[in-house]
Amino acid sequence: MKPINYDNASCNPISSNCVIWQGPDIPCINLCKGDTVSDVVFKLATELCGVLEQIDVTTLDLSCFNLAGCEPKDLQAFLQFLIDKICALEECCNQNANPAREGCPDCVVNIAPCFYYLDPFGNQITTMQLTDYVTAIGNKVCDILNQIDIINQTLVQYNIRITTLENAPPPVFVIPTVTPNCVLPSVPTEVQIVVDALEAEFCLLQGATGEPTDIYTAIAQECPNLSTSPTLGPGGGTMGSLPGWINPATNLADSINNMWITICDLRAAVRNIQENCCPSGCDGIELAISAVVEAPSTLRIYITGTIPAGFIECGGAATSFTISDTLGNSTTQLISVTTVLNNPAGVTVNLGATPVNPSSNLKIEANICLCNATTNAECCNYICYDLNNEVACPVITLTPDVTSIAYSFGALVTGTYTIQLYNNAGTVLIAQNITAVVAPAVVAGTFTSLTSSTPYKIRVLITVGASTTTCPFTPAITLPGPCLPPTSVTAVIATI
């Protein structure tokens, strides 16, 4: 819309598109507060055209009236036509005393589609009594006239407001300002400048952190089943049981949260290793000894453990080991601990030339002294090992007879041998033979006065010093007796 004062140089031209409707919303014509004057005029004109179209009498179907002359051409002529018809109907109805009068207006006529309605049963009604139809048309015309009056009044109000808007000075648009906190100095700044700075900072941030897809890909790199995996630090439990653990981690904050918890768990585990796993100095010395008798007079000693680097035996000499038996006999042997340490072959000691009985239980003990020339540390430790010297049981050979069982076996250990004879259940001791043996030797003997065809059990007990080894039972059965000559009674029976 061009302003009427557009050609007047002394006036300030204002386009209708710059004038805004400030009145309330009018839903029936879809008019909203904030529309331009051009939109307001267009919507009012559209609504007026619709009203004019509705009151256009040339679109009405008046064929039911069987007009002989011309149909009414405007609303005023149509209304006057209706009034005349209604008056005629009223006059006709007042003459109902004449029962001979029949037909219209007391007749049914087809009605226009805009008057169709539904009866209580939902059926569409397309006909009406002529008088009812005329009354409905009259009411409709009255409604239309009322609407026209309202529209005219509204247009007058719109004209006043539009004139006021056209006469108002043009609005001045002021760009809003904001006060940024980090991207720019904290002073009021035009919003477009702040938006530009925000975009620049966002691009830098995205370049540093990566695209969202890259972040989610990084989150997915978490160790499989990490939430249910056991912790490494002291305390036990699973990673998911640690305070603050988030399962599942769905964003970068969750992932960093779990990452720090995992790092702290690793640090706790490493600190526990540092404090308990690998001590240094004298605390790092751990030694243990063990031994075994491999032959009647051969003892093999093993030394295992840890000696930190830089430590040697005090004075550079071997360590004195004392070996004693249960009878109080002992011998001293020099053994280099640092040389034998963790050697799978150990070191052998021949006890044959010593007073120690190798068949007895033995005790091996030593006071070990180690020193470090660099740190001047000197560490002493007492170690010992009690060897329960169980004697190997011999393989016994049994030779049964009718009333006796002979036995023999090789004795490899010096000591006292007790050979016992039991009943077949192994619960009743029948007889025993006791023999002192200086190994190696062969031990032999016989149990007599036994019952023929009877099972027995025999075992050996070997006593060395205060230690006794009980060997398992060996079963034996005596032979059946010889056949006896028949008596006179058995002979007579046999003859018969």
Residue 104's pLDDT is what?
Answer: 62
**Residue 290 contacts residue 385 (beta carbons within 8 Å):** yes
pTM (2 decimals)?
A: 0.33
C-alpha span between 375 and 179 (Å, rounded): 67
C-alpha span between 169 and 163 (Å, rounded): 12
pLDDT in tens, 212-261: 888 888 888 888 888 888 888 777 788 888 888 898 888 989 899 989 98
Q: Structural domain boundaries of the chain?
A: 16-166, 210-276, 288-387, 397-477
Q: Where does residue 71 rank: exposed (0-12), middle (13-18), buried (19+ CB within 10 A)?
A: middle
Topology annotation, domain 288-387: Immunoglobulin-like (2.60.40)
- CATH number at 397-477: 2.60.40.10
Residues 6+ apart with CB under 8 A from 154: 26, 44
Q: Which residues of the chain are under the pLDDT cut of 50?
A: 1-2, 11, 97-101, 491-496
Residue 168's pLDDT is what?
Answer: 85
Q: How are strands ordered across the β-sheet holding 397-400?
A: 397-400, 405-411, 441-447
Fold: same for 288-387 and 397-477? yes
C-alpha span between 25 and 35 (Å, rounded): 10
pLDDT in tens, 123-159: 999 998 888 888 889 888 888 889 998 999 999 899 9
**Residue 407 contacts residue 458 (beta carbons within 8 Å):** yes
The one-letter code for the residue type at 126 is T
Peptide bond into 400 cis (omega under 30): no
Residue 101's pLDDT is what?
Answer: 47
Q: Which neighbouring-strand residues pair with 397?
A: 408
